[in-house]
Every structure is written in structure tokens, then in C-alpha cells.
A and B are shown apart, each in its own frame.
Chain A
Amino acid sequence: MIGGLFIYNHKGEVLISRVYRDDIGRNAVDAFRVNVIHARQQVRSPVTNIARTSFFHVKRSNIWLAAVTKQNVNAAMVFEFLYKMCDVMAAYFGKISEENIKNNFVLIYELLDEILDFGYPQNSETGALKTFITQQGIKSQHQTKEEQSQITSQVTGQIGWRREGIKYRRNELFLDVLESVNLLMSPQGQVLSAHVSGRVVMKSYLSGMPECKFGMNDKIVIEKQGKGTADETSKRRPSAPAHSGKQSIAIDDCTFHQCVRLSKFDSERSISFIPPDGEFELMRYRTTKDIILPFRVIPLVREVGRTKLEVKVVIKSNFKPSLLAQKIEVRIPTPLNTSGVQVICMKGKAKYKASENAIVWKIKRMAGMKESQISAEIELLPTNDKKKWARPPISMNFEVPFAPSGLKVRYLKVFEPKLNYSDHDVIKWVRYIGRSGIYETRC
């Protein structure tokens, strides 16, 4: 149970302070500032224990959000709440910045009153909140007196995330599969660790109370269908191999939005739900097997005497030639005693950034099955301490238009028995985006 919640700016000044329980005193505010924000050594752990009080913090640009408690709480729950809180704030007033927080502090206190009660998280669904917490610009466009009176019964009802009587002229939905791929590779090209964490985000503009069913190439489902209803699979089979070589993926773990009926997932492994109106995150998942690594980095570092270092890095794209990767950035760390750098690259632009102690190589676009190379000469200043350079890994950023985990959306069916539109009338959009998470290669 969260005892209190504080928001600080980068200087450690308190912008928002809300205490939910008596065991959290005023000094807790200062304790966090002194021990975390102004700590001499940068605090890396998101959980800090000071005098039997636990502080859970997340940072959004220059803003610190800290949840405080004296009890032994579920840390994952607290962080989940903090992220949700960020989402809610972003939905209300855009970017979380000091100025925005100062301008909206009344709203934030109002939100804090609503989404946390005596330290227990409550309904934090933006859509639902917007119906009754209205500030300035956010005036619900179609709120009659009648509807206002229904708010209480609706948000406390069984389907608290969606109100009744929504009507759209055009029923439309958007599905985004967003993945980030993480990798640590040895200099010889051996994968030391790799995983993909992905999210399925849905934006729905559907009338009434539609019942949706989401299907993807989950290994368990595919196998079950293969054994069970043979007729259904026989219909689908021909189309499946056309998408990719891989038919199904093994999902290590996943979480769902509260609208998904978990009982159905447990028994049939089918994902059925009544979606909230607007944008929401349908599910989150993680895979570790058979990951498609979009790029391969081949480093070559040679030390020439004490004062010179030669670096050569080759990157190879490893996906279909028809696809284009974007926003590619390779970051090659340089030793701390670098006194000068010369870079030559065939493609893109490369620059030595002294402030970050790294050579940054940027390529705008790159097609699949290509390779590119950079070579650099680094001059070093002899120093008097014998510490050897630790050689931090070379890291990479990119964006590719496919899901590195291999996930495919098979279907999303919409049923609304009360209104007269069918699954075929709904316009559906699916998009895959694969981004780099921590994508590193040792050198």
C-alpha cells in the first residue's frame, strides 16, 4: 500500500506531494531528495530504502516521481501504478514537464485523489477518468445531464472502462504491434542474451458494446488447433506459410489489459474482451526463443602502442531486402583519455562526441541484406594511472517494420449483436514496428 506520492523537479524541489497514510512523515520528502536526487553517487536502483521507508521512483525527462511506503508492498504493483500514472498525466496534459505539472497541479491532485485511495490503486483508465475529471480543455463533448448522473453507476459497474451508448459513423480499429529487441553479443558473434519485449496497442472507434476476439500465432493455440478441430485448420493452413517462414511463436509470459477475460484465456487461451473507447494497451509479452536479430555488428579494435587505437566496425542487416530499416545509430565508446579522433565511413554520417565519450554513426535508411563499414583512428593521451580501458560494448539503435519476435496477428473479430454492424464492416489496420532496446555487442 502506497503511503505517499511525491513529484520533484530536477533540482529536487517538491512539485506535488500527496500523503495517503500517517506513517509517512514530512521528512520523507527530504529523505528522498537528499539520498537519491542529490546523492553524490548516482542512484541506479529504482527502489531505495531509507530508514525503514521504501522509495520507488521513476524518472520522466527531468521529473522524478516517487512512491513511498513503510510496508512490504508488491514492488511490481507500485511501478505498474507509477507508469499508469504517467500515462494518465500524459493523456490529460501531454508531455510530463515541470511547467506542465506546475500548470496542472489542481488537476493532478484531483487525479491522485481518484486513482489512489488510502494507498490502494483504483480505476486508472484514462477514458473512464475523463468522464468525471474534467479540466479546462477536456470537456466531454457529449455529456448531457442524464449521462452525468450515470457516471457513478458506470465507473463502479462491471465494465468500468467503457460507457454505454457510444456511436461512430465509421467503425474503425487500429492495431500496433510494438516490439523492442534486446541483445548482448560477444565479439565473436555469439549471442549471450537476447529477448524481445512487445506490446499490442489498440485504438478502437467502435459503436455500442462490441465483443472482440484477438488471435495471433501463439504456439500453444496453433498446436491445439492442429490436434483439435481439423477442419478449421485445414482452411487456414494454406495462407499461413505465405506470411513468413515461421508459423508460431513461443510466448514466455504475457499480461493483459483489465478488459480481457482471463478465465477464457486460461481455459481456451482465447483473448476476448470488450475494448475501452480510444487507445489502450491490449497486452504485453516477452519472448526469448527464435528471435530475428535485425542487425549484426562486427567490431575490430586494435591497440597500436600506448597512444593509438584503431577501430573498425561492420554492420550487416539481416532481413528481407524489400524492407527498410530506419533511424540507425551506432555508438562506439572511446577511451577516457582520447585526445583526437579521425573517422571514415562509407555510408551515413559519423562524429566523435566528446561530451559522451563516443563516436556516433548515424544512417538514415538501410535495406535488408546489406552491409556497411566505419573505421576510426583514436589518439590517446598517456596517463599516469595504469588502469586499463574497460572497453564498454558498442550499442545500436534502429527501427524496422516487422516484429523481431515473429508475432503475427491472425485475426481480430468484432461482434456487436445489438447494433447492426458486423465484423466485415469494421475497418481494421495492423502495423508492426520493431525497435532496438539495449542492443549491444562487446568489442
Chain B
Amino acid sequence: MPAVSKGDGMRGLAVFISDIRNCKSKEAEIKRINKELANIRSKFKGDKALDGYSKKKYVCKLLFIFLLGHDIDFGHMEAVNLLSSNRYTEKQIGYLFISVLVNSNSELIRLINNAIKNDLASRNPTFMGLALHCIANVGSREMAEAFAGEIPKILVAGDTMDSVKQSAALCLLRLYRTSPDLVPMGDWTSRVVHLLNDQHLGVVTAATSLITTLAQKNPEEFKTSVSLAVSRLSRIVTSASTDLQDYTYYFVPAPWLSVKLLRLLQCYPPPDPAVRGRLTECLETILNKAQEPPKSKKVQHSNAKNAVLFEAISLIIHHDSEPNLLVRACNQLGQFLQHRETNLRYLALESMCTLASSEFSHEAVKTHIETVINALKTERDVSVRQRAVDLLYAMCDRSNAQQIVAEMLSYLETADYSIREEIVLKVAILAEKYAVDYTWYVDTILNLIRIAGDYVSEEVWYRVIQIVINRDDVQGYAAKTVFEALQAPACHENLVKVGGYILGEFGNLIAGDPRSSPLIQFNLLHSKFHLCSVPTRALLLSTYIKFVNLFPEVKTTIQDVLRSDSQLKNADVELQQRAVEYLRLSTVASTDILATVLEEMPPFPERESSILAKLKKKKGPSTVTDLEEAKRERSADVNGGPEPAPASAASTPSPSADLLGLGAAPPAPAGPPPSSGGLLVDVFSDSPSAVAPLAPGSEDNFARFVCKNNGVLFENQLLQIGLKSEFRQNLGRMFIFYGNKTSTQFLNFTPTLICSDDLQTNLSLQTKPVDPTVDGGAQVQQVVNIECVSDFTEAPVLNIQFRYGGTFQNVSVKLPITLNKFFQPTEMASQDFFQRWKQLSSPQQEVQNIFKAKHPMDTEVTKAKIIGFGSALLEDVDPNPANFVGAGIIHTRTTQIGCLLRLEPNLQAQVRLLEERASYARAVFWLWCGMGPKWGRLRSSERCVPLCNLRCPADT
């Protein structure tokens, strides 16, 4: 490449620049620039043509003035003229000016494109390089439109020079990033992959960047790159450091290329065994090299080496299939945990976080717990400490929970303010998740409130109360502990809230002790009353009225307090109302009524932990550091199994995980009206929790659709799925509506219907793919045509995958297509019915079930349900008028199945007998399944006696 020689320098330009630099003030500078601009204008205006040199000089000056921050509105034409010069320096300045100054809507764009085209077509590699750089620098849509087709040709042409190939690959990458839709995929893609085999390492490096980006969008097309990348990688890794000459950086062979290749491999799942063996070898070599003593003391050497190593570890974590490698990676990172270099420690902690979520390396990560805790305590850099907290959270399990929680608590006292809230949430979650002993849990949370009360969010103390209420065994202990905690002279308001609530519910459990007699309890709480905010005071008032019920002996004291002016005439309307109502309640109501109204709170229903939801929200949707999330993503494909669950519900099978599912929102018990429990619940609902409750399990919704054709099938924070369906004979059509509830687009939105093999033969479903992007707030519709071929048992599963704000979402729901949808009612007379009933007496043709009803029975409701189920309701058929009788035909393509059913309620025992008979026993059984949950869960029938037995015939 011709360099700018000394003699070629532009004196005028140098003088101008030094003039500007010598200016004493801004005004002087502006004056000098104005003068120069006028000079250039007059030169450009001049009639006689300028030679290339002066044109270049003036364009350079203009460029300099522009870079100083002044507007330039002329000289573009001269710059474009420079493009057609044959001298390198002039062309270069022209391209420079254009890439800096020309905006896309300029009229000159046609001329510029023409010049670029000429240069691309020339065989001069320098000119081609300049043109490619210009395209990449401008990188606009217009450029992409004009050249996206051309560049791939240059890239894969056999006779292109290496340096041009390199530029072309990077240029194409740039265009692809700005406007991916304009870069055509074609046969060149397969040839690009082969660039990985190129002799020239520069070309390989550039091509790897391009392929990685392309492969992320179209993994299929570039699948072949995996084996090539692996072989290239192994050649680099095994080469002696001197082999690659220019591409060896401080004794590390081609570090940039290695890193890029490893990145590329991270786009794909582990390759097939043959290649995998070679890859494993490579990765092992990289890990081995990390153990070798450094070849140079220079920081660049270790930086390059570690870069490759970390990328290799990311690949190992990504594949998550080689336990041996994972453990080795973990050990390697463990060494870095104590490294002098802060950056290394940070990276090690970060990578370990992801390692901790892999089942193979979880144990290995746990061995470093001491080091991590040490890092938490001694690390100077706050971001590293933050990582240490994350890692501790990720590595926590039942065995080390107590230790980790204790360490985090002790660290919390000195923690930085910026990460305190997050630590608080993490401690709360870990304490809850791995609590074996609930007294420990209560202690921990109370400690938490004591240490960092300001950072304890509402959700945290809600959880304590929910758990204490749901667990009989800790209530006494909790009451005792909060009582002791409240005795501290200064306690945090959150502690007062917890204390008030728990003593109000379970104060009686410790009232026996004279040190915590009712009056002492009351006085203790009331001493905090005046220091608290209004919501807390309201809660305390509720506690007082509960005390009235628990301890009649303090009734008068409490009434006095309620009667005082500061309560009855309080400026806050809520407090005033409570005071008035409670006072009245305590005077008017008898002891019995009080006991009923102020009964202990019922247990809370179990839902997803609101704290977890809060932590997730805090982290933002894009970070997938969370253990569960990472796991779930991996198991997304498996999720289409028989137990479909919404993706956001935790599905860990351990018993303590159930606790996680506890109330996200305040429960609304169907208890006695407004006062007592209801009011205490109001305290909760005063401040609604940050996250909307998850939709109830899809199983519930599924059951609702047994008798219904339209409605909402599934709903969470992001997505709503609605259904509308109609069935006639053995055919049906279902409209599925997907509503995006957020304001962000869903990308790669793909709903798929999954049928088991068995189901596929019996039920044919036809559907069209929907648009892969769903705009925020928009709804898309999908039509499913259904034909029932034969009787079937399972329901198809609708699996929806999409990308929301960078995270991958996966939702599976059962589609309510059940056999009873093809059930058509038939009318028949009593005699007819019993005749048929009797014909169907063989055991395969009969199903009988006794179950306990969940709800009080209502004749009308039951009737409606039987009709909704699909059968005809036959009145005046059964001799016992309380029994319900139905009949219908199931239509399939192959056959029609007659069906009879009877429901015999036993009102006293709330037990019902449901019998069904059909010509196909299987059909009957699944009909039953479809119907069952409507009335209640199946119970063993030991307590119930069949009341009556009826026979029924088949129809066809």
C-alpha cells in the first residue's frame, strides 16, 4: 500500500491547522475558519479547474473544519471528483470525506455509488479495499441496497486477494447488522463456510465474525461450519507458538481467531461424537495450557491466554455435556478466584455463576465456597463483591444454605448501599427455599429486618407472615421471637409490622409466661405506635382488636386507647374509621361473635413466591443469571410432556419448592364479611404486590373448557391465549387468539401443536403458521381445523415459543379438545334408556365412579353441566327424581359411539355416583376423565356405597 510520503504532505493544510491551534480564543478560531472557508469558496468557484493536489488539500481543510464542529455545506462535489482520481492519496481523501460527511439522502449518492462500483470492479486491491471500507463506514441502508448483492460475489470469488476478502467479509458483516433483510442468502453461504479453511488467517478471522453473526440467525444454513471450525481450532491450539508467525500474539497462537471460533461453536449444540472428540481434545489442550507456566511476564501474554480460556469455558458451559471438562473448568476458575488481577476474579466469579447451574459442576463449584465468602468480605471492588453475592446465591443448596445465609447476613451489615436490596431479597429467598427448620427461617428474616430494615421490601415481610400462618409448628416460636425482638429500644418499622401481625394472631401462645403477659404485649406494641407511619398504625389497630378477642382482660385498656381523641378523631380517615369500628365492635359484640369475627387467619393458598418475582424483575428480563431460569430454558423442549405448565411457574419437585408457590397476591378468603379477617386482609391489599399473580395452572382452565367452547385459556404477564371453537359431528374448528399484553414485540413467535403418536392417529389437526412477530398490544389469530378420526384420550398440547426482550419464553398449555366435544345429545324415553342400559352390562362397557363433591350441590347447576358436557339431559327417566340421566352419541370419522350416563347424588354424604356406559369402554373411561374434574377430585370409595345401579344399552 503506498504510504503518504513526506513530500506529499500538504503545506497549506499544516499551516492552517497550526494557525487554528495557536488561536487564543474561540472568537479568533471562528474568524480564522471563516477566512479559510471564504478562501476555499472562492477557489472552488474560480473558473479555472483545480488540479488534484489542491482539490485534495481544500477537501482536507474542509474535513478538518467539520471535525472541529462547524457545518460544512459545500465541497461534496469536489470530494466526489477525487474518487475518480487514479492517485491513492487523492482517492483516499475523497473516500474519507464521503464516509464522514455525506448523508444518505444527498443527491450525490448516485455519483458516489457509481464511483464505488467502478472501484469494486477494478482489479486493483487497494482501490477495492478503499471502496469496501467506505461502504462499511457509511453502512447505511442505501449502501446495503446498492451493494449487498455484489459483495458476497467478491468475497467468494477465487481470484480475490486475501486483503480484499478480509475487507469484504467485514463489510458484509456491517451491512448485515444494519439491514439484515437486504443481504440475500444464496449459494454463496456454503462457500463462505469454506473460508474457514483459507490459508490466510486474516481471512479466516474476518470470515468467522461474519459466519457467527449469520449463524445466529440461520443456524441451519451454516451447520457445516461446526466441523470446519473445530478442525481449524484444533490446528491453532496444537500448533507451536512460532508456526503462525504474524498471528502469534505474545506467544499465544491467534488468540482472536480462537476466541471467535469458540464463539461460533457456541451457536450450536454439541456436535456429533466424531467431531466432539476432537473438540474435547482442543478444550482440554486449552485447559492444559492454562496450567503451564507463562511464557512471558508481559500482561498481554496472560490477557490473550485468559481470553481464549474464558471463551473455552463458556463453550464448555454452553454444551454442558462433559462432566470432566466442567469440573476442570471449575477448578481452573477456582484458581483465578485468588488471582491478583481484579478483572480475572470478576470473570471467574461470573463464569462460576453459570457453572453452578449445571448439574455436573454444581458440586465442584461448592468446594470454593470459602474462597467466595472471603471474596465477599475482603474484595475492594464493589462489582466483584456483587458477583460474589450472585455466585453464593447460585451455589446455595440444602447442604450449605445455613452457612451461606449467615455469611450474607453478616456481610449485609457492611454492604454497599447499591446492592443491599438485592442481597436482602436473596437472603429471604434462600432462607425460605432451603429452610429445614422454620425457627431458623424466622430468626433469619427477623435478623434481616433488624440489620437492613430499610431495604426489606413489603414482599419479604408478607412472606414471613404467610409462612408463619401456614406452619403451625413455628407460630409459638415466632411469637416469642418477635416479642423479644420488639423489646429493643429502637426497632425498624417493618419489624413492628411483623410483630404486630404475629402477636395479634398468636400472642396467646406466649401469654402464659408472666414476662409476656397480655398487658405487657400490648404495652410493648403501643409504645411503638406513635413512631410508626399510617399503614403500620392501621395494622396495629387491627392487632389491638384481635387482642380484645384473645385476651378479654385487656379489653378495657384497649377500648380506652381506641376511644382516645388521637384515634377517634384522627386526621387520617383510615385510622379514624378503624378506631370507630373496632371500638364499636368490642362494645357491641358478644364474646362468641368476637371469636368468630376475629378468628385466626386461614392458611394462605400456595403460589409463586412474590420475592422471587421481585428479584427477577429487579434483574431485568435480559439477564439469565438466575439458576431456575437457566435450567428451564434448557428443558424447554421437554416441557411439552403430559404435565404442561406455564413456563414461569417453578417446577422443582422438592417439597420445599411448594413453598415457593405461596401467595403472590393477597388472598381473598370467602370468610365472614367485612370486619376481622377481612380487615386484616385489607392491610395486605393496601399495598398491592409488585407483580400480578400468575394465571392459575392451565390444568384448571383446561377443566373449565370441558363444558365450554369460548373463553380465556391461559394468561400471564406477557401473553393471553383466548379460544373460540365450534364442533359439529366429528368436525370442529378452533380459533386461537394470542394477545401480546406487553408493549414490546414478541419475536420468533411460534406456536406448535404437539400430539402424542397415539393421539395423532385418532385426531387430525390442521393449522397454518402465524406471523413470527407479535407487536406490543396486538393480537394474532390462528385457526385449527379438527377432525376426530377415532376416540382419543389425551388432549393435544399447544406449545408456544417466543423471544421477549432478549429472553426466551416457552409456554405449554393443553388445548381443550376432548372427546366430549364430539358428543351429540339424543333424546330417548325411559323404557328405551333402561333397555339399552341393561344391554351394556359387560365390565368393559361400564365405568362407575364415586366421588366427593367439592361444592354444595345445586340441581340447576348440575343440569347445566350435564348439558354443557354434550349429552342430552333426560328428564323423568330415572325412578329417583334426584338422579340425573343423560344420553348422547360420540361422532368420529370411523364410527359412532352411543353413550349413557347417570349421576346419583347423595346429598347427605355429598357423594355422587356417576356411571357411564358406552359401546366402547375406552371411550367411556375418557369421557369420564373429561368430566371428572368438573365435580371434584376422585376419591377412594371406601366410605361410599353405591346407591343404585342401572343398566344401559349401546346405541349402535
- Cα A339 to Cα B24 in complex, Å, equals 27
Are A384 and B73 within 8 A (Cβ)? yes
- Say yes or no for A267: interface residue by CB 8 A criterion: no
Known interface pairs A62-B25, A339-B42, A379-B45. Does A354 touch B74 (Cβ–Cβ under 8 Å)? no
Q: Which residues of the other chain, A, contact B34 by a CB distance below 8 angstroms? A: 354-357
Are B24 and A337 within 8 A (Cβ)? no
Q: Which residues of the other chain, A, contact B45 by a CB distance below 8 angstroms? A: 339-340, 379, 381
- Pick the residue among A10, A356, A383 that contacts B31 (CB under 8 A): A356
Q: Which residues of the other chain, B, contact A204 by a CB distance below 8 angstroms? A: none
Q: Which residue of A lies closest to B25 (CB)?
A: A10
- Say yes or no for A40: interface residue by CB 8 A criterion: yes
User: What is the distance, in angstroms, from B65's C-beta to the closest C-beta of chain A?
Assistant: 13
User: What is the distance, in angstroms, from A389's C-beta to the closest C-beta of chain B?
Assistant: 12
- Cα A339 to Cα B41 in complex, Å, equals 5
Q: Which residues of the other chain, A, contact B38 by a CB distance below 8 angstroms? A: 338-339, 354-355, 357
- Bitwise, A395-427 to B at CB < 8 A (1) or not (0) is 000000000000000000000000000000000
- Cα A219 to Cα B602 in complex, Å, equals 92
- Cα A436 to Cα B35 in complex, Å, equals 27
- Bitwise, B28-56 to A at CB < 8 A (1) or not (0) is 00011011011101101100000000000
User: What is the distance, in angstroms, from A379's C-beta to the closest C-beta of chain B?
Assistant: 7
Are B35 and A42 within 8 A (Cβ)? no
- Say yes or no for A99: interface residue by CB 8 A criterion: no
- Say yes or no for B106: interface residue by CB 8 A criterion: yes
- Say yes or no for B26: interface residue by CB 8 A criterion: yes
Question: For window 295-353 of chain A, which residues contact chain B by CB distance below 8 Å?
Answer: 336-340
- Pick the residue among A40, A337, A356 that contacts B41 (CB under 8 A): A337
Q: Which residues of the other chain, B, contact A357 by a CB distance below 8 angstroms? A: 34, 38
Interface SS majority for chain B: helix
User: What is the distance, in angstroms, from A320's C-beta to the closest C-beta of chain B?
Assistant: 38
Are A354 and B39 within 8 A (Cβ)? yes
Q: Which residue of A lies closest to B69 (CB)?
A: A40
Known interface pairs A337-B41, A355-B35. Does A384 touch B107 (Cβ–Cβ under 8 Å)? yes
Are B24 and A10 within 8 A (Cβ)? yes
User: What is the distance, in angstroms, from B702's C-beta to the closest C-beta of chain A?
Assistant: 60
- Cα A66 to Cα B106 in complex, Å, equals 45
Q: Which residues of the other chain, B, contact A339 by a CB distance below 8 angstroms? A: 38, 41-42, 44-45
User: What is the distance, in angstroms, from A351's C-beta to the closest C-beta of chain B?
Assistant: 13
- Say yes or no for B76: interface residue by CB 8 A criterion: yes
Q: Which residues of the other chain, B, contact A355 by a CB distance below 8 angstroms? A: 31-32, 34-35, 38
Q: How large is the interface on B (under 10, 10 to 19, 20 to 34, 35 or more residues)?
A: 20 to 34
Question: For window 2-43 of chain B, which residues contact chain A by CB distance below 8 Å?
Answer: 24-26, 31-32, 34-35, 37-39, 41-42
- Say yes or no for A385: interface residue by CB 8 A criterion: yes
- Bitwise, A377-392 to B at CB < 8 A (1) or not (0) is 0010111110100000
Residue in A340, A354, A382, A387 with the greatest tally of chain B CB atoms within 10 Å: A354
Question: For window 141-194 of chain A, which residues contact chain B by CB distance below 8 Å?
Answer: none
- Pick the residue among B25, B69, B73 that contacts A337 (CB under 8 A): B73
Q: Which residues of the other chain, A, contact B37 by a CB distance below 8 angstroms? A: 336, 354
Q: Which residues of the other chain, A, contact B31 by a CB distance below 8 angstroms? A: 355-356
Q: Which residues of the other chain, A, contact B108 by a CB distance below 8 angstroms? A: 384
Known interface pairs A381-B74, A384-B76, A385-B73. Does A338 touch B35 (Cβ–Cβ under 8 Å)? no
Known interface pairs A338-B41, A340-B42, A357-B34. Does A42 touch B26 (Cβ–Cβ under 8 Å)? yes
Q: Which residues of the other chain, B, contact A384 by a CB distance below 8 angstroms? A: 73-74, 76, 106-108
- Cα A336 to Cα B38 in complex, Å, equals 8
- Bitwise, A352-378 to B at CB < 8 A (1) or not (0) is 001111000000000000000000000
Q: Which residue of A lies closest to B107 (CB)?
A: A384
User: What is the distance, in angstroms, from A221's C-beta to the closest C-beta of chain B?
Assistant: 45
Are B24 and A62 within 8 A (Cβ)? yes
Q: Which residues of the other chain, B, contact A62 by a CB distance below 8 angstroms? A: 24-25
Known interface pairs A42-B26, A354-B38, A381-B44. Does A337 touch B74 (Cβ–Cβ under 8 Å)? yes
Q: Which residue of A lies closest to B31 (CB)?
A: A355
User: What is the distance, in angstroms, from A334's C-beta to the closest C-beta of chain B?
Assistant: 9
- Bitwise, B62-104 to A at CB < 8 A (1) or not (0) is 0000000100011010000000000000000000000000000
- Cα A337 to Cα B74 in complex, Å, equals 8
- Cα A383 to Cα B62 in complex, Å, equals 14
Q: Which residues of the other chain, A, contact B69 by a CB distance below 8 angstroms? A: 40
Question: For window 530-587 of chain B, which residues contact chain A by CB distance below 8 Å?
Answer: none
User: What is the distance, in angstroms, from A142's C-beta to the closest C-beta of chain B?
Assistant: 43
Q: Which residues of the other chain, B, contact A382 by a CB distance below 8 angstroms? A: 74
Question: For window 24-38 of chain A, which residues contact chain B by CB distance below 8 Å?
Answer: none
- Cα A382 to Cα B74 in complex, Å, equals 8
Q: Which residues of the other chain, B, contact A336 by a CB distance below 8 angstroms? A: 37, 73
- Cα A303 to Cα B41 in complex, Å, equals 19
Q: Which residue of A lies closest to B76 (CB)?
A: A384
User: What is the distance, in angstroms, from A244's C-beta to the closest C-beta of chain B?
Assistant: 41
User: What is the distance, in angstroms, from B29's C-beta to the closest C-beta of chain A?
Assistant: 10
- Cα A383 to Cα B76 in complex, Å, equals 9
- Cα A40 to Cα B26 in complex, Å, equals 10
- Cα A67 to Cα B240 in complex, Å, equals 68
Q: Which residue of A lies closest to B24 (CB)?
A: A10
Q: Which residues of the other chain, A, contact B41 by a CB distance below 8 angstroms? A: 337-339, 381
- Cα A340 to Cα B41 in complex, Å, equals 8
- Cα A377 to Cα B35 in complex, Å, equals 19
- Cα A340 to Cα B45 in complex, Å, equals 9
- Bitwise, B663-695 to A at CB < 8 A (1) or not (0) is 000000000000000000000000000000000
- Cα A383 to Cα B106 in complex, Å, equals 12
Are B32 and A383 within 8 A (Cβ)? no
User: What is the distance, in angstroms, from B25's C-beta to the closest C-beta of chain A?
Assistant: 5
- Cα A337 to Cα B26 in complex, Å, equals 21
- Cα A381 to Cα B45 in complex, Å, equals 6
Q: Which residues of the other chain, A, contact B73 by a CB distance below 8 angstroms? A: 336-337, 383-385, 387
Q: Which residues of the other chain, B, contact A381 by a CB distance below 8 angstroms? A: 41, 44-45, 74
- Cα A261 to Cα B69 in complex, Å, equals 55
- Cα A379 to Cα B42 in complex, Å, equals 9
User: What is the distance, in angstroms, from B22's C-beta to the closest C-beta of chain A?
Assistant: 13
Q: Which residue of B lies closest to A307 (CB)?
A: B45
User: What is the distance, in angstroms, from B101's C-beta to the closest C-beta of chain A?
Assistant: 11
User: What is the distance, in angstroms, from A10's C-beta to the closest C-beta of chain B?
Assistant: 5
Q: Which residues of the other chain, B, contact A338 by a CB distance below 8 angstroms? A: 38, 41
Q: Which residues of the other chain, B, contact A340 by a CB distance below 8 angstroms? A: 42, 45
- Cα A42 to Cα B25 in complex, Å, equals 12
Are B26 and A354 within 8 A (Cβ)? no
Q: Which residues of the other chain, B, contact A383 by a CB distance below 8 angstroms? A: 73-74
User: What is the distance, in angstroms, from B49's C-beta to the closest C-beta of chain A?
Assistant: 15
User: What is the distance, in angstroms, from B492's C-beta to the closest C-beta of chain A?
Assistant: 32
Q: Which residues of the other chain, B, contact A10 by a CB distance below 8 angstroms? A: 24-25
Are B35 and A354 within 8 A (Cβ)? yes
User: What is the distance, in angstroms, from A36's C-beta to the closest C-beta of chain B?
Assistant: 12
- Cα A441 to Cα B244 in complex, Å, equals 75
- Cα A336 to Cα B74 in complex, Å, equals 11
- Cα A10 to Cα B107 in complex, Å, equals 42
User: What is the distance, in angstroms, from B943's C-beta to the closest C-beta of chain A?
Assistant: 77
- Cα A381 to Cα B69 in complex, Å, equals 21
User: What is the distance, in angstroms, from A307's C-beta to the closest C-beta of chain B?
Assistant: 8
- Cα A382 to Cα B45 in complex, Å, equals 9
User: What is the distance, in angstroms, from A306's C-beta to the closest C-beta of chain B?
Assistant: 12
User: What is the distance, in angstroms, from B37's C-beta to the closest C-beta of chain A?
Assistant: 8
Q: Which residues of the other chain, B, contact A379 by a CB distance below 8 angstroms? A: 45
Other A-B pairs, 17, CB within 8 Å; known A339-B41, A356-B34? A42-B26, A337-B73, A339-B44, A354-B37, A354-B39, A355-B31, A355-B32, A355-B38, A357-B38, A381-B41, A381-B45, A381-B74, A383-B73, A384-B76, A384-B106, A384-B108, A387-B73
24 sample A-B contacts, Cβ–Cβ < 8 Å, listed by A number: A10-B25, A40-B69, A336-B73, A338-B41, A339-B38, A339-B41, A339-B44, A339-B45, A340-B45, A354-B35, A354-B39, A355-B31, A355-B32, A355-B34, A355-B38, A356-B34, A357-B34, A379-B45, A381-B41, A381-B74, A382-B74, A384-B73, A384-B106, A384-B108
Which 6 pairs across A and B sit closest by C-beta, in order of nearness?
A354-B38, A339-B45, A355-B31, A339-B41, A355-B35, A383-B73
